[in-house]
A and B are shown apart, each in its own frame.
Chain A
């Protein structure tokens, strides 16, 4: 369908982009890769007055080493991340998850920051970002602030980013040498995740020393599975022990019921997929 008409501006710098947001208030909408926004506009589910396109803001793009962590620019495209050696070495869980997003065409256009700011709980970027303790760098008229993962995702399609702010980057502590696995459960490959489990595991000998787990589409936001993480610490890399440790991974989650599966089924899937993800990440 044809979207309702809108104005369009493509600033060259972050400051110009912030100024454009200031000027147009809540009638403005940021467009990053457009892979989620354009279908929304075309179906006329939203009709902003003006699109502020961040595509030309080059300072928002790229993966950088800042010592203890990586800084991933919000406008870094999926396919750029997939081929980035820093990301592959230090944030492999994110790379694993992004590799499952949609199809090559969409991965060529879609951006890491766009997906996070869109905050679809069925999207594949939020759960690994949460699991890896990502911090969200948000800039606005009052300067820059850093938001923790627990505070960034607020609700369906809602984040801590204000109307006059822009998600500029995420900062991820290096998880060098961690085993990783993103278990994505779908019926057809180009689908949104029915459930996804992002697991990063640090192994010491035959034991899981530390585990970090994020869940996709198990609530109104991506979910960090803290209790399962704690239960896994010190557990031997063995199916029964891991299964027991993650048995309650879905407790307290509030997954949706829809055509792809009801909430109980999703809770069951989360448990099975977490076990598999953790075992695979641990190299079992």
Chain B
């Protein structure tokens, strides 16, 4: 047995390794779901409703059935008894109302794009051709389209429910015993403080992952095998079993390499259920891959809220109370976590500020539109947007510098751990440090000077500076807390670490990646822990037969929950290896220490005997000479249930130039300093931040799902759904401060959603800041050139320009939080100041 003296090159944690999965992902040398071809495989094409709300009078499939290559045409009526209902895993209240959610509509469609029939044919082209021949006779029904009108029940999305309101959910700090009475403090502030009331529109977005959704089901073995482009193979397996009445043990779900999700693949989809049903009916493998148009139309959407906020503060700027009233668009149905998505923001409107009282009320409303569900950040971007817009409005109201006002009100670093007005315990953070670094990188003072100069010169191009100091709750989530919120599952995660005879390591994780780089990060964790080479760690995931336990990837939970499970499993491997190493070294187990992958007698010095983890693994495999009573295996498992959320935070600063002649917004500088706790791989963290920023900035400037007055998605292709590319953004300046999380051994807080959550208000605040001196106080997202131009042109006028309804305020200046003047309203020019005394 030779003793290795060469020290290991470097610690893996903190090493900006290039991702080991990228070669196959970037070159396309991998197997996406749509690449799978099975013997005798059939192809599906969907027939979708062109109407937002209609009765299905008849579905004539005869011509389609006779078309070349067609094996079956399936209608809702054909499968009404066996298709079950798509699951809603999060009923937020006991009296929540929801319609049945069929995979194939049976007698009524509730949104444009809903599946009414499915053609199963020998080729994808034949299926598509035959789908054109299915003749559906509809009787149109009044559709609930506008969210506010829907809340008023002007037309019913589901007449049988008798209302469009699905549920009303409230958190009140006085009732919860975590803070004071909101109404009392607001009333007091009306007398001798300041009250700011605003209403914001958080528009509907489309997740727009790169790989369209695709599903293959093979019914020919003992088990049904489903390959699907999903974020949640484990949840999907469970839900297929419960929805379709198949034994869970007879279903295997595989998420092969998945090309992005952003929450858009955190779903059990009609298309997955339909592919399963088609495979079961035909007895042959079936494939369905959506087109981009179908993806934009029928994959779930995100956001879509009206947000009314009332903020009370002292005259010196100290914030006291925050009251939030949300109207959230569910769309036509409740998907997996549709109902709970706005509630994920419930505890985040207070953000990093020390409010004395807080109340959050959310009304979930059905409309006849594509259903909404999780989209990167899910509830928390909406919260961050609203509170960071409000802090700017308060600063304007008080004539204060916006960063300085935030500083006055945020939790100081010495106050951690800090219990928020919602009762959440923020474990760690340092807002001062992140902000100081961001201000320095940004040259905040220099840009403010330039802004002043441009204003004084009356430049046609004005400069604006926007701030977002944010936090989020992620690492979803402690099972007990999910239980209290009535969520249908826990929040644990599972891992196995297997020591192979050759000293190589297999890590099995329940966190199924779809682009995040888990294979690299998990390898780094285990290489450090077990002292093996990074290259010697193989990470296995995404197949319920290989990784049978798991709760999948969403909510920035992978590293802080799944990674922690990996660390714990690796710890157990070391514990199991110790008595065997001691036996090999003829020493007492208690005398051994494990350093850099080797067991040695503590204090024996450099010449002392030692044994490597690989040598222990080989000896364990051989099992020729193990201590009495020791099982011949080092393999270990751990299931970790977090004790708390994690709370990344950061300071984002954006400078934009606004062309006041055209309304065009150009980004000038973007700096963010994020504290995501301990960083395992800086390159992956930076990549997550960059992608998140692009998506968050896109909400501020570019993206919006728009429906016409018939409920047809107008932004139904990338011609009109203006997804930005790298050419539209600038080079971001990113940096990090580190205050480790205290609730996992890694110290990580999660980074998947941070950039997306933080950036939107920084950009919108900067656009408004650029034109605030012209009398503009709000511009609705996305801040399109026309909206910006209209806001400038009509600012300060006593009456709105009659030729442009867009130019009117989105609430009545005399009465806070009034409804918008009409459906044509795009731009809010809020000439309302706070109603301070």
Interfacial residues, chain A to chain B (CB-CB below 8 A): 1-2, 4-5, 42-44, 103, 185, 187-192, 194, 258-262, 264-265, 268-269, 272-273
Contact = CB atoms under 8 A, between A and B. Distances in A.
B722 interface: yes
A269 B784 CA distance: 13
A4 B68 CA distance: 13
Contacts of A273: 662
B725 A2 contact: no
Interface residues of B, number: 31
Contacts of B714: 259
B124 A2 contact: yes
Contact of B725 (A43, A189, A259): A189
A44 B124 CA distance: 15
Interface in B653-675: 661-662, 664
A269 B662 contact: yes
B803 A264 contact: yes
B125 A5 contact: yes
B662 A185 contact: yes
B112 interface: no
Contact of A1 (B291, B662, B702): B291
Given A4-B129, A264-B803, A264-B804, A188 B719 contact: no
A188 B785 contact: no
User: By DSSP majority rule, is chain B's interface helix, strand, loop, or mixed?
Assistant: loop
Contacts of A258: 720
A187 B128 contact: no
Contacts of A4: 129, 132
Contact of A187 (B715, B785, B789): B785
B785 A261 contact: yes
A262 to B, nearest CB: 7
Nearest to B723: A188
B727 A189 contact: yes
A1 B719 contact: no
Contacts of A1: 128, 291, 293
Of A5, A265, A272, A273, most buried by chain B (CB within 10 Å of CB) is A265
Contact of A188 (B661, B725, B790, B804): B725
Contact of B719 (A5, A191, A261, A265): A191
Interface string B785-809: 1100110000000000001100000
A75 B662 CA distance: 36
Contact of B722 (A185, A188, A265, A269): A188
Given A185-B662, A268-B789, A190 B125 contact: no
A189 B662 contact: no
B664 A185 contact: yes
A12 B181 CA distance: 82
A48 to B, nearest CB: 15
B653 to A, nearest CB: 23
B724 interface: yes
B727 A2 contact: no
Main secondary structure of the interface of A (DSSP, over half): loop
B706 interface: yes
16 contacts: A1-B128, A5-B125, A185-B662, A187-B701, A187-B722, A188-B722, A188-B724, A189-B728, A194-B785, A259-B714, A259-B715, A261-B784, A261-B786, A265-B786, A265-B790, A268-B789
Contacts of A192: 719
Interface-centre pick from A187, A191, A273 (highest chain B CB count, 10 A):
A187
Contacts of B124: 2
A189 B729 CA distance: 10
Contacts of A261: 784-786
Interface in B749-784: 784
Contacts of B717: 43
B804 A259 contact: no
A44 B785 contact: no
A268 B784 CA distance: 15
A272 B662 contact: yes
B779 to A, nearest CB: 14
Nearest to A189: B727
B708 to A, nearest CB: 10
Contacts of A260: 720, 784, 786
Given A1-B293, A259-B706, A265 B789 contact: yes
Contacts of B132: 4, 44
Given A1-B291, A272-B661, A187 B702 contact: yes
Contact of B728 (A5, A42, A188): A188
A262 B787 CA distance: 11
Nearest to A271: B661
Interface string B630-662: 000000000000000000000000000000011
Nearest to B726: A189
Contacts of B724: 188
Nearest to B801: A264
Contacts of A188: 702, 722-725, 727-728
Contacts of A262: 786, 804
A2 B124 CA distance: 8
Most chain A CB within 10 A, of B701, B706, B728, B790, is at B728
Given A2-B124, A264-B803, A273-B662, 13 more contacts: A2-B128, A5-B129, A185-B662, A185-B664, A187-B701, A187-B785, A189-B728, A190-B725, A192-B719, A261-B784, A265-B789, A265-B790, A272-B662
Given A187-B785, A259-B714, A272-B662, A2 B722 contact: no
Contacts of B803: 264
Contacts of B728: 188-189
Most-contacted residue by chain A among B662, B723, B725 (CB, 10 A): B662
B727 A190 contact: yes
A97 B714 CA distance: 28
B827 to A, nearest CB: 11
A264 B786 CA distance: 10
B129 A191 contact: no
A272 B717 CA distance: 29
Nearest to B714: A259
B751 to A, nearest CB: 26
A279 B440 CA distance: 39
Contacts of B664: 185
Nearest to B703: A188
B174 to A, nearest CB: 44
Interface in B676-721: 701-702, 706, 714-715, 717, 719-720
Contacts of B804: 262, 264
A259 B826 CA distance: 11
B662 to A, nearest CB: 6
Contacts of B720: 258-260
A72 B781 CA distance: 44
